[in-house]
Chains A and B, each alone.
Chain A
Amino acid sequence: MRISLTVNGQRYTVDVAEHKTLLRCLREDLGLTGTKEGCGMGECGACTIIFNGRVVNACMILAVEANGATIETIEGEATGPGLSEIQTALERNNSAQCGFCTPGMVMSIKELLRDKPKPTIDEMKEAIEGNFCRCTGYVQIIEAILDLTGRSAEKGELKHV
């Protein structure tokens, strides 16, 4: 089936098999391999993208469902020569080790800050509850969000996330 979608501001028209996931379509047909496949069934959040303004698991959406959709992925994040604000905060706080969870994590943080520019710590945790990170233990990721929301002073107080 032929579908048209906008990804990171660019319009694409592709022929996709009707049973193909949006995640596979982004990676295999559009060459956007920044979005990762971990579990492939909604558990890990490595495939998190922004779909019509909302974070979703791209592994549980069919490519054909994205006909006409506007999508944001990690490839659209750094628009200038350097990293984006969210990426810079994650880097500064050592919020990535292997980095497999990071593209999805960035998308979840992006939606959070759009919806709630001043999130509480509980809201930060909730925003990333569907993004598994097996390396960092999450504290550094919350610290990056504290940085992004002007609350760097509270960083030392986070003991247990």
Chain B
Amino acid sequence: MVYEFRYLAPKSVGRLCAALTEHAGAAKLLAGGTDLLPNIRNGVFKPDYVIDLKLLPGAAKLQYSQVDGLIIGPAVTINDLLRQRSVRRLYPVLCDCAHQLASHQIRNRATVAGNVVNASPCSDMAPALLCLDAVAVIRSAAGQRQLPFSQFFTGVKKTALLPGEFLEKIIVPAASSNASGRYLKLKRIAGHDLGIVGVLCTLHQGRRRYAVSSAAPTPVLVDGFSAGDGPEDVERRVLAAVSPISDVRASQEYRRHMIAVYARQLLQEVR
């Protein structure tokens, strides 16, 4: 890195919270680093302190139980999800999204928590967490609070995390297990690429939901469909919920068009 910073690796949540309080505004947390380190290199972030959270006890915990659901610690990587049999069996939607994120090397390092805190509109994990009613467990020196992901994303690269807070774990409820669904991600190439748009459709106990990435300042959840909704209804409701922009990767018109195409296709496929 051209930019110089200090590296801290606290070994307890208490020390991490203390470091975050002490260096508030001057510190950045480090998980997989696949977003943070390129951003420091490019001068987007200039932290005085980089605080690694991978040495926290239980940071790599990935555990399912019927009582607590799936618990995803802050050091759990995208490929950790894909490699765990219980996740593949119970949360196929999570795996479908995870599998389409970045490249194999990056998936070995990038964390689920880092992906959502990053809060990019094109986050590939956010659609799954939104549709599956996942909850963010947020921690600071002041204590712990929980927030559903439907309230977590507040703007482009902005979250509801307050200064001094970090994402301690993600909980995907047991009630969301066995949801079926499919994520269609439009990219320029078959290999790794950020999405032009991404549309996830899930169906769980008769309830249909959509979540769309790269189509608004935040990932968008579209809920409240009824069983009799036809392709026109679905297309109209999904398009009403998004506000894509034109940028280097695609025009607004193309994005809207493809969101509609995918929404209709998924209505047929996810049954």
Contact = CB atoms under 8 A, between A and B. Distances in A.
Interface of A: 1, 17-21, 40-42, 45, 48, 54-57, 59-62, 64-65, 108, 125-127, 129-131
A54 B103 contact: no
A62 B109 CA distance: 12
B96 to A, nearest CB: 14
B208 to A, nearest CB: 29
Contacts of B79: 54
Contacts of A130: 102-106, 191-192
Contacts of A40: 41
B108 interface: yes
A58 to B, nearest CB: 10
A18 B104 contact: no
Interface of B: 1, 3-7, 9, 30, 32-34, 37-38, 40-42, 50, 52, 54, 79, 102-106, 108-109, 190-192
Contacts of A127: 104
Contacts of B190: 125, 129
B143 to A, nearest CB: 29
A45 B38 contact: no
A126 B107 CA distance: 11
A64 B30 CA distance: 12
Contacts of B109: 54, 56-57, 60-61
Contacts of B37: 21, 41, 59-62
Contacts of A54: 79, 108-109
Given A41-B38, A62-B50, A19 B104 contact: no
Please name the 10 residue pairs, one residue from A and one from B, whose CB atoms are nearest each other, closest first: A130-B103, A18-B7, A129-B191, A41-B38, A19-B1, A130-B105, A54-B108, A60-B37, A19-B4, A56-B109
Nearest to B7: A18
A18 to B, nearest CB: 4
A31 B153 CA distance: 44
A55 B7 contact: no
A126 B82 CA distance: 14
A108 B105 contact: yes
Nearest to A1: B7
B7 A56 contact: no
A128 to B, nearest CB: 8
A18 B37 CA distance: 13
Nearest to B77: A54
B192 A60 contact: no
A56 B103 contact: no
A123 B50 CA distance: 35
Contacts of B106: 42, 57, 60, 130
Contacts of B6: 18
A125 B167 CA distance: 34
A45 B5 contact: no
B104 A129 contact: yes
A55 B104 contact: yes
A55 B108 contact: yes
Given A20-B1, A60-B109, A45 B7 contact: no
A86 B108 CA distance: 22
A17 B2 CA distance: 11
B31 to A, nearest CB: 11
Given A19-B5, A55-B108, A61-B109, A45 B103 contact: yes
Contacts of A56: 105, 108-109
A60 B38 contact: yes
Given A62-B33, A129-B191, A19 B105 contact: no
A131 B103 CA distance: 9
B118 to A, nearest CB: 13
Nearest to B38: A41
